[in-house]
């Protein structure tokens, strides 16, 4: 009888422990470890290049502390601290809704949305003449990447036109006076401003005097540069000749008594 009593008590205790452990497991299941968070100021709406900043265009969101981008703001008031008017700062690089506002993407106090603020260090902005054809019917917009082609007459007493790819994967900064990367409508312009190295700037200046420049729009995911061949007028109708194939000469295999085998051209046996 006593043994049955202790067995019953032990069973009750084990049942209570099991219930407690199960309850603890259910409450904690699916709970990921807590990630340290902080506040980051983001764009509350799409902000095109040149937009005058205002607190109503911004909002503060929780952001994982370990992935806060360099130059981010934690408080909207910090952006306008020291400004004489609410619109003293201007967007230099278009921001999409929810994107963190960085020091590098907005101007200093009282600044204008000048092009030089968008040119990377050690690079140059150069404008070249385009037309609806050479500018891909206006479908090239700021932020696109292009190849630049030069068509010229080599002369020599006759018309001898050739086309060379002189620059590849060049960033377009603006078309005419449009520099807004968020623009989504075709712009038929007369000039395209591109970002190049100082040496490439010299090359473009010379190329404009030597012939006609055209832009070739690249796929946004294609970054590789390819070996570009010169194309001349003769190749418009006559493709490059294929490599000349020389057929092997016919031979006769002769086996000698010592076991050696020699191939003799047929002409040598006549």
Same domain, 52 and 133: no
Q: Give me the pLDDT at residue 117, please.
A: 67
| CB contact at 8 A, 126 and 170 | no
Q: What's 172-216 look like in SS3?
A: EEEECCECCCCCCCCCCCCEEEEEECHHHHHHHHHHHHHCEEEEE
**What band does 238 get if pLDDT is binned at 50, 70 and 90?**
low
The answer on 211 and 196 residing in a single domain is yes
DSSP 78: H
pLDDT, tens only, 70-129: 999 999 998 888 766 656 688 888 889 999 999 888 877 655 556 666 777 889 999 998
Say if 92 falls within a structural domain: yes
Q: Are residues 177 and 91 in the same domain?
A: no
Q: What is the 3-state secondary structure (H, E, C) of 114-155?
A: CHHHHCCCCCEEEEEECCCCCCHHHCCCCCCEEEEEEEEECC
Last residue of a domain, one of 113, 147, 164: 113
210 is written with which tokens?
Answer: 């030597």
CB 180 within 8 A of CB 252: no
pLDDT of residue 269: 47
29 found inside a domain: no
User: In terms of residue numbers, what domain contains 104?
Assistant: 37-113
- Assess whether 137 and 104 both reside in one domain: no
Both 132 and 64 in one domain: the answer is no
For residue 265, tell me if it sits in a domain.
Answer: no
CATH number of the domain at 62, please.
3.90.1210.10
pLDDT value for 106: 85
The verdict on 154 and 172 lying in the same domain is yes
Contact between 190 and 131 under an 8 Å Cβ cutoff? The reply is yes
Task: Count how many domains the chain has.
Answer: 2
Q: What is the DSSP letter of 65?
A: G
- Please check whether residue 232 lies inside any domain of the structure: yes
Q: Could you tell me if 106 and 148 lie in one domain?
A: no
* Final residue of a structural domain among 113, 136, 169: 113
**Do 122 and 49 sit in the same domain of this protein?**
no
Summary mean pLDDT of the chain: 78
Same domain, yes or no, for 127 and 82? Answer: no
Q: pLDDT exceeding 70 applies to what percent of the chain?
A: 69
Distance CA 175, CA 160 (A): 31
> Do 121 and 226 fall within a single domain?
yes
50 and 144 in a single domain? The answer is no
215 and 124 part of one domain: yes
Q: CB–CB of 126/208 below 8 Å?
A: no
For residue 80, being part of any structural domain is answered with: yes
Query: pLDDT tens for residues 132-157?
Result: 766 666 678 888 899 999 999 887 66
């Amino acid at each position: 009888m006593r043994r049955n009593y202790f067995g019953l008590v032990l069973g009750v205790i084990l049942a209570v422990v099991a219930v407690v452990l199960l309850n603890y497991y259910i409450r904690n299941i699916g709970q990921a470890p807590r990630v340290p968070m902080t506040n980051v100021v983001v764009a509350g709406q799409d902000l095109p290049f040149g937009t005058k900043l205002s607190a109503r265009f911004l909002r503060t969101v929780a952001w994982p502390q370990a992935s806060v981008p360099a130059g981010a703001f934690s408080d909207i008031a910090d952006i306008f601290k020291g400004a004489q008017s609410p619109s003293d700062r201007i967007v230099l690089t278009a921001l999409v809704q929810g994107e963190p506002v960085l020091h590098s993407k907005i101007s200093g106090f009282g600044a204008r949305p000048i092009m030089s603020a968008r040119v990377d260090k050690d690079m140059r902005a150069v404008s070249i003449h385009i037309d609806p054809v050479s500018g891909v019917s206006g479908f090239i917009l700021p932020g696109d990447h292009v190849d630049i082609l030069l068509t010229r007459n080599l002369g020599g007493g006759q018309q001898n036109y050739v086309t060379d790819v002189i620059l590849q994967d060049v960033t377009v900064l603006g078309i005419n006076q449009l520099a807004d990367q968020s623009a989504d409508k075709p712009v038929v312009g007369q000039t395209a401003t591109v970002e190049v190295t100082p040496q490439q700037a010299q090359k473009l200046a010379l190329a404009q005097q030597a012939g006609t420049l055209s832009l070739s729009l690249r796929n946004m995911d294609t970054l590789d540069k390819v070996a570009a061949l010169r194309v001349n007028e003769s190749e418009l109708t006559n493709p490059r000749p294929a490599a000349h194939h020389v057929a092997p000469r016919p031979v006769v295999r002769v086996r000698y008594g010592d076991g050696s085998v020699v191939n003799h051209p047929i002409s040598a046996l006549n």
